[in-house]
Amino acid sequence: MKILVAGYQHETNTFAPTLADWAAFNRGDTFPAYVHGQAMLEQLRGVNIPIGGFIDAAATRGWQLVPSCWAGAIPSSFVTEDAFERIAGSMEADVRRGGFDAVYLDLHGAAVAEHAADSEGELLGRIRAIVGPGLPIVASLDLHANVTQRMLREADALVAYRSYPHVDMAATGELAAELLARRVHAGRREPLQAQRLPFLIPLNAQSTWMEPAKGLYEALQAIDRRHGTVSSFCMGFPAADFDECAPMVWSHGAAAEAAAAELFALVAQPGQWRPHYLNAPDAVAQALALAADTDRPVVLADTQDNPGAGGDSNTTGLLHALLHQGAGRRYPGRVVLGLMFDEAAAARAHAAGQGATLELALGTAVPTFTGRPSDPPVRGRYTVRALADGRVTLKGPMMTGVALTLGPCALLETDGVLVAVVSGKMQLMDRELLRMLGVQAEAMKIIVVKSSNHFRADFTPIASRILVAKAAGPMAADPADLPWKQLGAGIRTRP
């Protein structure tokens, strides 16, 4: 069997300040850069992303893959019309050439384009229009997909990650291969049952390393074992202002109706989805108190500047709080914040060289969902402690084996606080991103990560405590804080 394979990955925060243009899909910040043709298979084979798992599964099943293109950009605001049409046009041209028996798409599920709110549904619809109703189309989705009725209608089957941090991305590609095999064996679509939750779930409540999500995804797998179904629960990305932004449960299989109803009853209890946050000064004060009694680092999540959710990884609220409370003077060289996206600062550090001292205004005041800008840049004297070219291969449980190019990077120190500065946007999800600048995370007292949950996979094993902080930034930790205009009727912004 010949399978056309392609991918389109973007998580869109429609309230964020920066668009995902064609250049963003070619930079290779969080994801591998845009790639087309045979090079896609060579580059993505063995990588912990869905298409990597599908490639391996196809090999074991004896399937032949027909590569189209794969495109991914770091989460941000809308995908530009130009970028979407370039990506979709490339796939459509390859689909029109024919010569395959089925289609597999590695999709995110929460991409909003300037001209197409449901851009994955639009892409699936265009491909369906070319191949006709009988040819199987299967897609994998991110756990944060905002699954639409059109996506469910145009695809023969969809399956989503079951972990957040997403350590099972390749495994989800393998599940997509299983669903495709089931579809081909049956000769028709399996029964489908889907139901949308009537409220948004905050990102910080979604981690499957904690309850309730941990137990709920264990229950999902038990339900599938009992019913012989393949079920998914997408908790959704709660910052995409369009009418079908909301969590979704669905099941494929003969017992899909029973499986979906059982799963929905568990996940739709609202009281379990309410997280706790600290403001920046309180988070730093608590971290300093905790750090006094442990040799393991206290980890602070700067969740509202998460570049994995639409932030630009450049706000300074927690850096101001660390300096104001003397964190670096108490633990010199053992307090680190990252990753700070500041190309100008990184360039100046490289020009000056290791050991140099610079006068800098680090970070950026950016527009936020409140209508007020984030905290001002941190002006002061910075010493260049280390330099790197930004080429790093991730080794943690999430995105294992993915090679990144973050451009010129520098480790800057001011008043005892270390700041890992990069020229490409990337959330601090992997300890290798600190090691490339000579920072051993295990030796730190306090680590501030610009991330919401993905950091937990690689940092939980070394952390004494994890605290979630709300410093001013473009990604609302509480969806109810956002100025929604298009959200569907009956969808509550709080559980």
Residues 248 and 317 in one domain: no
488: in domain? no
Domain assignment present for 490 = no
Confidence category of residue 399, pLDDT binned at 50, 70, 90: confident
pLDDT at 29 over 80: no
Regarding whether 304 and 162 lie in a shared domain, the answer is no
Does the residue 487 lie in any domain?
no
Looking at the fold, whether 122 and 233 belong to one and the same domain comes out as: yes
Range in 96-100, 140-144, 383-387, 393-397 with the lowest mean pLDDT? 393-397
Whether 143 and 64 share a structural domain: yes
Return left, alpha or beta for 415; rule: phi > 0 is left, psi -120 to 50 is alpha, else beta: left
- pLDDT given for residue 400 in this prediction: 87
Is 436 inside a domain boundary?
yes
Q: How confident is the model at residue 157 (pLDDT cuts 50, 70, 90)?
A: very high
With a cut of 90, say whether residue 30 has pLDDT above it. no
Residues 157 and 117 in one domain: yes
Judge if 348 and 260 occupy the same domain. no
Is residue 483 domain-resident?
no
Number of domains in the chain: 2
Q: What is the number of residues in the chain?
A: 495
Domain identity same for 264 and 147: yes
Tell which of 239, 273, 307 closes a domain.
273
Q: At residue 122, does pLDDT exceed 90?
A: yes
Percent of the chain predicted with pLDDT > 70: 100
- Classify residue 247: in a domain, yes or no: yes
At residue 431, the pLDDT reads: 98
pLDDT in tens, 337-367: 999 999 999 999 999 999 999 999 999 999 9
pLDDT at 70 over 80: yes
pLDDT digits (tens, 9 = 90+) for 451-465: 999 999 999 999 999
Burial class (CB in 10 A: 0-12, 13-18, 19+), 371: exposed
Residue finishing a domain among 209, 239, 273: 273
Question: pTM for this structure?
Answer: 0.91
Could you tell me if 230 and 373 lie in one domain? Answer: no
Range 230-258 average pLDDT: 98
Judged against a pLDDT cut of 90, whether residue 56 lies above it is answered with: yes
pLDDT over 90 percentage in the chain: 94
- 51 band by pLDDT with thresholds 50, 70 and 90: very high
Final residue before a domain boundary, out of 218, 238, 273: 273
Q: Are residues 251 and 366 in the same domain?
A: no
pLDDT band at 257 (very low <50, low <70, confident <90, very high): very high
pLDDT at residue 261, as a whole number: 98
Considering the domain architecture, whether residues 386 and 351 belong to the same structural domain is answered as: yes
Residue 492 covered by a domain: no
CA distance 306 to 313: 6
Give the pLDDT confidence score for residue 31 in this predicted structure.
82
Collapse the DSSP code of 139 into the 3-class scheme (helix H, G, I; strand E, B; otherwise coil) and give the result: strand
Instruction: Check whether residue 208 and residue 243 sit in a common domain.
Output: yes
Residues 261 and 290 in one domain: no
Positions of E strands within 117-254: 137-141, 157-160, 192-196, 230-234, 248-252
Q: Which has the higher per-residue pLDDT, 384 or 47?
A: 384
Q: What is the DSSP string of 301-366?
A: EEGGG-TTTT--S---HHHHHHHHTTHHHHSTT-EEEEEEE-HHHHHHHHHH-TT-EEEEEES---
For 392, the domain range is 278-476
Whether 494 maps to a domain, the answer reads no
Q: Which CATH number is 258's domain given?
A: 3.40.50.2300
